[in-house]
Amino acid sequence: MTFNELGLNARMVSRLDALGLTRPTPIQEQAIPQALQGRDILGIAQTGTGKTAAFGIPLVVALSKAQEKAAPKSARGLILAPTRELTKQIVHSLQGLTADLRITLVVGGKSINAPAAKLARGTDILVATPGRLIDLMDRRAVDLSKTRFLVLDEADQMLDIGFVHALRRIAPMLGKNRQTMMFSATMPKAIAELSGHYLDKPIRVEVSPPGKVADKVSHSVHFVAKDQKQGLLIELLDGHRDDRALVFSRTKHGAERLMKHLDRAGFAATSIHGNKSQGQRDRAIAAFREGSVRVLVATDVAARGIDIPDVGHVYNYDLPNVPENYVHRIGRTARAGRDGRAVAFCAADEVAELKAVEKVLGMRVQIAGGRAWEGFGDAPKAKKGRQSRRRSSSRRPERMAA
């Protein structure tokens, strides 16, 4: 199927053709025709499957067709995403789809005065993180009652990083006569509950089971003592110095220490995490994209906001507390049809996390080095107190200014 067969107008098809896009991805093929009919959409698809265009194309078509002018302080369409990096990626994609609509970006890390001044004149599409949108609402700088199109992108991560209360505050401010599209890589119970608050008789489109990862990713794990992780990482990175590698640390302080250690070891490395300013994060990603930096150390703040096709390796230096985040992390490799390698390090106190990852993947991860820690091969057991601690920690990943 081609984009021309999805019911798009000639102008949009021409735009997509100029971008080198002629055939829709599976999520686009399923979502776009339904969205063009005005239906609410609940989309479930892994990262890197083209979700941004799946909601961006029908949104641009609908707003362009309406040919209305945004009222002061209002947004005709609103897109919410969990991180600054992802919102900027969305804006970049939308700018490729239209030159006529006004698009306003609102995120933390920068002065709120400039975007507030832009919103005073009204905007066609507002792309924001939930926390920053709440700031605008508190200032009475935005009126959402006239918003007719709403998109929630990466809804599961918005819940993971604590935006559920912000979303509950935003929902009542929106006009009821609207079209809503919600996209998520996974479908936990909380997402089903959230969809009930935002969506009206949605069409569910799903191109892969929740938790499924790209077929071209190879998975491996090294069982290694915590104090030997740095040495092992250097050894492995040294084997592919010309390739881009993304290394995930659980904490922002750990990410910064690891980046400095790699820099002293002679690697061109940088880092992004919640303690970095927006300018620092932008420069780090730009350097990684252009290749002047080959190793990017990051917390989960970057798990869904980096779209760089040729990241060959993703290292889970620390296994994630939330197993679904493993899927999002390794979604940064094997993009655009390329192969990718996901390498995990498992210390003695991370066996439970590795088991949880394997459960999400529905497969055993190949052992590439070290000897499995005691208890790794045992059947999962419910340990009193363990689950409650994991649940609480799963809601407390690195906090970031939105």
CA separation (Å) from 228 to 59, 219, 372, 376?
A: 50, 20, 15, 19
Sequence-distant (≥ 6) Cβ neighbours of residue 344 within 8 angstroms = 219, 220, 221, 222, 315, 316, 319, 326, 354, 357, 365
With contact defined as beta carbons under 8 Å apart, do 368 and 343 qualify?
Answer: yes
Q: For position 374, what pLDDT does the model report?
A: 78
What confidence score (pLDDT) does residue 386 get? 39
Q: Residue 46: what are its φ and ψ, rounded to 5°?
A: -70, 165
Query: Residue 116: what pLDDT?
Result: 93
**Token reading at 254:** 């750990």
Spell out a b/e string for 366-400, using b for 16 or more CB atoms within 10 Å of the CB, else e: eeeeeeebeebeeeeeeeeeeeeebeeeeeebbeb
Query: Which residues, including other chains, have CB under 8 Å from residue 125's CB and lie 6 or more apart?
Result: 59, 63, 75, 76, 77, 78, 79, 94, 101, 102, 103, 104
Dist. CA 402–CA 399, nearest whole Å: 9
**What domains does the chain contain, in order, with CATH numbers?**
3-206 (3.40.50.300), 217-394 (3.40.50.300)
Condensed to tens digits (0 to 9), the pLDDT of residues 332-378 reads: 775 655 678 999 999 999 999 999 999 988 889 999 999 888 777 66
Which amino acid belongs to residue 261?
A: H
Q: Which residue has the tokens 């949009």?
A: 12
Whole-angstrom distance, CA of residue 397 vs CA of residue 159: 11
Q: Angle at the Cα of 185 (from 99 to 155), degrees rounded to 5? A: 70
Closest alpha carbon to 358 in 326, 332, 331, 390: 326
Q: State the Cα–Cα distance between residues 45 and 153, nearest whole angstrom.
A: 11
Cα four-point dihedral sign 262, 264, 265, 268: positive
DSSP code for 200: S
Question: Which residues have CB under 8 Å from 209's CB, separation 6+?
Answer: none
Cβ-contact 64, 98 below 8 angstroms = yes
Q: Residue type for 193, please?
A: E
- Separation of alpha carbons 48 and 331, rounded Å: 7
User: Biggest alpha carbon distance in the chain?
Assistant: 65
**Tens digits of residue pLDDT in 294-316:** 999 999 876 566 777 788 899 99
User: How far is residue 198's CA from residue 42's CA, in Å, rounded to a whole number?
Assistant: 10
Parts of the chain with a pLDDT under 70: 47, 208-215, 302-305, 334-338, 377-402
Which contacts (CB < 8 Å, 24+ apart) does range 209-213 have? Answer: 210/44, 210/185, 210/186, 210/324, 211/186, 211/324, 211/327, 211/360, 211/361, 211/362, 212/46, 212/327, 212/362, 213/46, 213/327, 213/330, 213/331, 213/342, 213/361
- The two three-digit tokens of residue 266, written as one number: 């002679």
* Cβ atoms of 345 and 229 closer than 8 Å: yes
**Entry field: residues in the chain:** 402
Q: What is the reported pTM? A: 0.72
Contact 132, 108 (CB under 8 A): yes
